[in-house]
A and B are shown apart, each in its own frame.
Chain A
């Protein structure tokens, strides 16, 4: 059994009853293996609680995740999953036949583990499920989505569909760690099409659109970014300015940025505009 949890003290926040439950659960797993997990998993939220005991970024062999998203029951689930050396098929089973909470824990406990066939299968479920907490547990607050690209069964088109979903349900790009490093023109086109559709329907556009498309410009990207500088929504304007600052070629935009800078009331956006003009 290998403990990957660089978060030793979380159990100190548990009361006596919860600690005893976890201890007994761990013993049952040690004795019987993963087959007892389907009966233990649903009990974890009510026995261990849903409080988040801590925060901080974990970095283990290229796997990065934010403990700030982990509740006591998620941490307990991780301990049991590791103790059981859970087979991939059981991870999938815990998701498919779990309630809302079990599904969430099944997704979250993928994050610190190596990417396997089960990870890819469950990312497929996340792609289709779209229950925001399950999608978040799989994709957000870690670099799992980026790590999945190491697996032969998960290509850049799968990555793109996930990011498009992220945009569709309006979650922040910053929560998918390292995602911007994999920007590509195809994704830019998909995000721009979504933005156009939303605009036609008079609905809000994902605020991170300009942040992502600027990193892999395609037809229409530049016009979107420039238009974004005049957007009435501060978040949209900031994303456009930050996107522009990330453009590979931006020298000819310096004049536009300076002109906007003079009229821009928000200090944070002014700072981003200054980066566009910087050499």
Chain B
């Protein structure tokens, strides 16, 4: 089973995770730009972070045969922070043209403040200008209201629904989103929130169309193997291989595929390939091992 993991913050994961993910069939990863666990105080740290996820992080993934992509954006939490919000908006156009950037995200609402809405809409406009889809983070608190508010904002902006991926959904939100024509994302977590068993029952009820699952792995308790683990749960529940492949391969690729060739379906058929002797800024994950024998 080939898997496109459409939401994992590998920046905060160790190299072993890449190896385990590759062995579990994960062929491509999309890393949305996000909040780093604490607030940044200047735009410089955003720039270095953005440069890392188009540079070193991509290089690190490729050494395990994994294609690495990302989305760029100002996350809702820091949209509230005047030390960085406008400056990040000013540098985004440049980063949105990078080869491995497949969308604007994660953007959206968190505490549902007026500032969050302002920068959310500003980034919807950027997505239009750069002809990119948007990956939307939904609030963890007051979720239903947040979902409804975001859908209203998107509708008013005239942004095409089929280019919207509304992430971190659950049994409640799918009732709101199922008929809107957008993509519904579900983050599977180990103990709390959405687990593989709950995911299976949602998919039994609603089918695979425009459904996307991810691990949202980051620096918290999370498991980058939850997409492959959910694949097993789906198989056990009797889903045919084609349906599972549609969910974990075709759907995310169809969503992020676009004009201009940044995501080439044919390229993904082969594992990423890089000369293992290469290093990034003098840094190699090989630690002196022989690249031929590794």
Contacts and interface: CB of A to CB of B under 8 A. Distances in A.
Interface string B87-124: 00000011001111000000000000000000000000
B277 A132 contact: yes
A24 interface: no
A42 B277 contact: no
Contact of A130 (B97, B275, B282): B282
Contacts of A133: 278
A132 B278 CA distance: 5
Contacts of B93: 39
A42 B99 contact: yes
B94 A131 contact: no
Contacts of A131: 59, 278-281
Interface in B49-92: 51, 54-55, 58-59
A97 B51 contact: yes
Contacts of A45: 99
B42 to A, nearest CB: 16
Interface of chain A, helix or strand or loop or mixed? helix
Interface residues of B, dominant DSSP? loop
Interface in A3-61: 38-40, 42-43, 45-47
Interface in B21-57: 47, 51, 54-55
B277 A169 contact: yes
**Contact-size category for B:** 20 to 34
Contacts of A96: 51
Contacts of B240: none
B261 interface: yes
Nearest to B96: A39
Contact of A39 (B94, B99, B277, B278): B94
Given A130-B282, A132-B275, A99 B260 contact: no
B13 interface: no
A21 to B, nearest CB: 10
B47 A101 contact: no
B282 A99 contact: no
B262 interface: yes
A266 interface: no
Nearest to B100: A99
A147 B47 CA distance: 33
A101 B59 CA distance: 12
Contacts of A40: 97
A101 B58 CA distance: 12
Contacts of B58: 99-100
B53 to A, nearest CB: 10
Contact of B261 (A46, A99, A132): A46
Interface in B179-228: none
A169 B275 CA distance: 12
A101 B99 contact: yes
Contacts of A39: 93-94, 97
Interface in B111-170: none
Contact of B279 (A42, A100, A102, A130): A130
B292 to A, nearest CB: 11
Contacts of B97: 39-40, 42-43
A73 to B, nearest CB: 10
Contacts of B282: 128-130
Nearest to A21: B260
Interface in B236-294: 260-262, 275, 277-282
Given A39-B93, A39-B97, A45-B99, A97 B47 contact: yes
Contact of A42 (B59, B98, B261, B281): B98
A64 B241 CA distance: 57
A170 interface: yes
Nearest to B278: A132
A99 B281 contact: no
Contacts of A130: 279, 281-282
Nearest to B130: A39
B94 A97 contact: yes
Contact of B55 (A38, A100, A128, A169): A100
Interface in A126-173: 128-133, 169-170
A47 B98 CA distance: 12
A38 B94 contact: yes
A46 B99 contact: yes
Best-surrounded residue of B51, B97, B100, B281 (most CB of chain A within 10 A): B97
Nearest to A38: B94
B279 A47 contact: no
A259 to B, nearest CB: 35
Interface string A199-231: 000000000000000000000000000000000
18 contacts: A39-B97, A42-B98, A42-B99, A43-B97, A46-B99, A46-B262, A99-B58, A99-B98, A101-B99, A102-B98, A129-B281, A129-B282, A130-B279, A131-B279, A131-B280, A131-B281, A169-B277, A170-B277
Given A46-B260, A129-B280, A131-B280, 8 more contacts: A39-B97, A42-B98, A97-B94, A100-B54, A100-B59, A130-B279, A130-B281, A131-B281
Interface of B: 47, 51, 54-55, 58-59, 93-94, 97-100, 260-262, 275, 277-282
